[in-house]
């Protein structure tokens, strides 16, 4: 089984790139973030023609997540619990049928949090705390759990081109990284670190200041796995070449392969 995560940075603007990549990589399940459209504007027909069923949690102009699947799946949750008045479209969770039972897959678009010292950063930390509480409850199910998406957190200094350049950014704040580590400490696995572990392997390059040609990137798109999913992990690939395409997203797809 191949699962992908991809912040498309506007699914309609990048649709042809997305369709080309889906044909090339042939993932079974795909988590998309930053759709920037309501569900009614989501290109469902084109993706269904490409062989995928779709669950969508959209939002006009901002945010938005979707899960695409070639396998039978059911919607489990379309929002992260913990704040009833939070209507940002950042979370989607499904149960996917497999021969041995089921895989639970969550698609996440974690808050950016900038600028520091504002409500946006407070929201980021609260969102991560809510995620921590929800994942704790999911782990009691003792089933394969895959959390995939744009986490907007740089876990290590080696996950950015220059740690000093990110000291003042919400993605690299000690409290942001601590929230990530508390989640991992539940017994979860960073799939990239388990399968590859390479320093300076990036998933995002800004459109500004020539970041892509200079290779000034960061790793913020992650797979986090329960023990039952980590035991089945075969490999992880960052599809770096996607960033060089015309009209590319500033993120690239990442895939994780499992022996499920």
Domain hosting residue 105, numbered range: 2-258
Would you place residue 235 in the very low, low, confident or very high pLDDT band (cuts 50, 70, 90)?
very high
Average pLDDT estimate for 243-252: 97
φ, ψ at 57 (rounded to 5°): -120, 95
CATH of residue 12: 3.60.10.10
* DSSP state letters, 23-57: HHH--SEEEEE---S-GGGS-HHHHHHTT-EEEEE
What's the pLDDT at 77? 96
pTM: 0.97
What six digits make up the tokens of 116?
A: 């520091």
What's the confidence (pLDDT) of residue 100?
A: 84
Three-class secondary structure of residue 211 per DSSP = helix
**Nearby residues of 181 by Cβ (< 8 Å), 6 or more positions away:** 155
Q: What is the distance between the alpha carbons of residues 38 and 63, in angstroms, rounded to a whole number?
A: 10
Average pLDDT, the chain: 97
The whole-number pLDDT of residue 14 equals 98
pLDDT band at 99 (very low <50, low <70, confident <90, very high): confident
Phi, psi of 212, rounded to the nearest 5 degrees:
-70, -55
In this prediction, residue 260 has a pLDDT band, given cuts at 50, 70 and 90, of confident
For residue 4, pLDDT over 90 is answered with yes
**Two tokens, residue 154:** 């740089």
The total domain count for the chain is: 1
Give the model's confidence band at 139: pLDDT under 50 very low, under 70 low, under 90 confident, else very high: very high
């Amino acid at each position: 089984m191949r699962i992908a995560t991809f912040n498309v940075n506007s699914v309609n603007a990048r649709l042809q790139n997305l369709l080309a990549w889906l044909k090339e990589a042939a993932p079974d399940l795909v988590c998309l973030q930053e759709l920037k459209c309501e569900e009614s504007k989501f290109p469902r027909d084109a993706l269904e023609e490409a062989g995928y069923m779709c669950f969508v949690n959209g939002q006009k102009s901002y945010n938005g997540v979707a899960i695409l699947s070639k396998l039978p799946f059911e919607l489990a949750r379309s929002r992260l619990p913990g704040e009833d008045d939070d209507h940002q479209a950042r979370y989607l969770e499904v149960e996917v049928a497999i021969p041995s039972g089921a895989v639970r897959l969550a698609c996440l678009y974690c808050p950016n949090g900038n600028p520091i010292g504002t409500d946006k950063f407070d929201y980021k930390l609260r969102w991560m705390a809510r995620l921590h509480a929800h994942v704790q409850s999911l782990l009691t199910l003792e089933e394969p759990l895959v959390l995939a998406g744009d986490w907007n957190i740089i876990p290590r200094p080696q996950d950015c081109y220059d740690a000093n350049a990110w000291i003042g950014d919400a993605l690299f704040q000690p409290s942001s990284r601590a929230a990530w580590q508390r989640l991992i400490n539940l017994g979860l696995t960073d799939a990239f670190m388990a399968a590859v572990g390479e320093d300076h392997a990036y998933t995002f390059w800004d459109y500004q200041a020539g970041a892509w040609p200079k290779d000034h990137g960061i790793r913020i798109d992650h797979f986090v796995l329960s023990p039952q999913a980590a035991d089945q992990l075969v490999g992880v690939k960052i599809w770096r070449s996607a960033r060089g395409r015309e009209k590319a997203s500033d993120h690239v797809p990442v895939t994780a392969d499992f022996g499920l």
